[in-house]
């Protein structure tokens, strides 16, 4: 039985969620504020399979909760509940390390579907880690621009680094970086379009399902973070290039200077 922690201060909403989750066969518990959520997850190290996290909480808000979890290397999947019509909340949530989001008010069936998606993914991650790798790494040398070569749970290697899209990991010669779902999805989109320009509009609409008029500085922040992961010198990127006024381009094998 999957354990869900519902972090929500509106008691009637939290209890309604718990009731419905239990009716669907989950075990659900409520934390009424951010403090008790981090206390249970980090101090008491309670084991939950997924967290439903409201942003607007008394005291410590949802952004701080997820940031603290990730800073403490707790990678429990987090579904964030955001206020409708505030795309900046969505992007800030992803930047803090949330895996998915749902605007409030939400439809229960959509919430359940999103939770299923997150649980399925962590199941895959566990399977992928315990079983022998079935997907051979894709080398940049072999047809890098063929999108079919980057399977949903495949890996992609370039310049001594390997992205494992399913396990949400980026391995570099001296580091293992845990990616959020949204970081992994953005990297996958860039890799799939290797050598081609990907516009900001495309990133918003195709990768994250957001409306194109979202503040694009949020994307820039994501790119800055990805560069810290994949570039030897993030200030002078060679793999993840800005195409001024248009968008970004990923190069697995940049031209030697």
3-state secondary structure 128-164: HHHCCCCCCCEECCCCCCCHHHCCCCCEEEECCEEEE
Nearest to 162 by CA among 148, 153, 146, 173: 173
Which among 3-11, 29-37, 150-158, 211-219 is the span making contact with Ca ion, rule CB under 5 A? 3-11
Binding of Ca ion by 61 (CB under 5 A) = no
Nearest approach in angstroms of CB 55 to Ca ion is: 7
N-term to C-term CA, the chain: 55
Nearest CB to Ca ion, comparing residues 14 and 240: 14
Residues 173-232 that bind Ca ion (CB under 5 A): none
Nearest approach in angstroms of CB 72 to Ca ion is: 23
Nearest approach in angstroms of CB 221 to Ca ion is: 25
Nearest approach in angstroms of CB 77 to Ca ion is: 20
Contact string (CB under 5 A) for Ca ion, positions 96-135, x = contact: ----------------------------------------
Q: Is there a contact between 187 and 165 (Cβ–Cβ < 8 Å)?
A: yes
**Residues whose CB falls within 8 Å of the CB of residue 246, separated by 6 or more in sequence, listed in order:** 197, 199
Strands, sheet with 78-83, edge to edge from the N-terminal-most edge strand: 27-31, 3-7, 50-54, 78-83, 100-104
- Interface residue with Ca ion, options 9, 29, 61, 205 (CB under 5 A): 9
Rg of the chain on CA atoms, in Å: 19
Nearest approach in angstroms of CB 31 to Ca ion is: 12
Q: Is there a contact between 27 and 4 (Cβ–Cβ < 8 Å)?
A: yes
Angle CA 233–239–243, to nearest 5: 105
Nearest approach in angstroms of CB 51 to Ca ion is: 14
- Closest residue to Ca ion using C-beta atoms: 56
Binding of Ca ion by 68 (CB under 5 A) = no
Which among 6-14, 90-98, 133-141, 163-171 is the span making contact with Ca ion, rule CB under 5 A? 6-14
List of E strands, 168-244:
169-172, 175-178, 197-199, 240-243
Nearest approach in angstroms of CB 183 to Ca ion is: 26
Number of residues that bind Ca ion (CB under 5 A): 3
- Report strand pairing: 50-54 vs 78-83: parallel
Nearest CB to Ca ion, comparing residues 56 and 112: 56
Residues 20-59 that bind Ca ion (CB under 5 A): 54, 56
Nearest to 56 by CA among 89, 22, 99: 89
Binding of Ca ion by 13 (CB under 5 A) = no
Nearest CB to Ca ion, comparing residues 14 and 182: 14
For binding to Ca ion (CB under 5 A), which residues are involved? Answer: 9, 54, 56
């Amino acid at each position: 039985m999957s354990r869900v922690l519902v972090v929500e201060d509106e008691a009637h909403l939290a209890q309604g969620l718990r009731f419905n989750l239990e009716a669907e066969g989950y075990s659900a518990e409520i934390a009424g504020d951010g403090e008790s959520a981090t206390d249970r997850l980090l101090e008491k190290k309670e084991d939950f399979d997924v967290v439903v996290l409201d942003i607007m909480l008394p005291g410590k808000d949802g952004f701080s909760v997820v940031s603290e979890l990730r800073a403490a290397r707790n990678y429990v999947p987090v579904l964030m509940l955001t206020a409708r019509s505030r795309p900046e909340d969505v992007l800030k949530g992803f930047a803090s390390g949330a895996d998915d989001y749902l605007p409030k008010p939400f439809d229960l069936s959509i919430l359940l579907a999103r939770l299923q998606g997150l649980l399925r993914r962590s199941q895959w991650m566990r399977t992928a880690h315990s079983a022998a790798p079935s997907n051979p790494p894709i080398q940049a040398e072999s047809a890098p621009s063929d999108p079919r070569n980057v399977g949903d749970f495949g890996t992609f290697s370039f310049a001594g680094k390997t992205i494992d899209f399913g396990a949400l990991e980026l391995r570099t010669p001296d580091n293992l970086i845990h990616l959020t779902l949204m970081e992994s999805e953005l990297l996958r989109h860039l890799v799939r379009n290797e050598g081609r320009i990907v516009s900001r509009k495309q990133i918003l609409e195709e990768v994250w399902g957001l409306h194109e008029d979202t503040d694009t500085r949020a994307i820039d922040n994501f790119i800055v973070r990805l560069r810290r992961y994949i570039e030897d010198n993030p200030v002078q990127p060679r793999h993840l290039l800005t195409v001024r006024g248009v968008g970004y381009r990923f190069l697995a094998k940049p031209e030697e200077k």
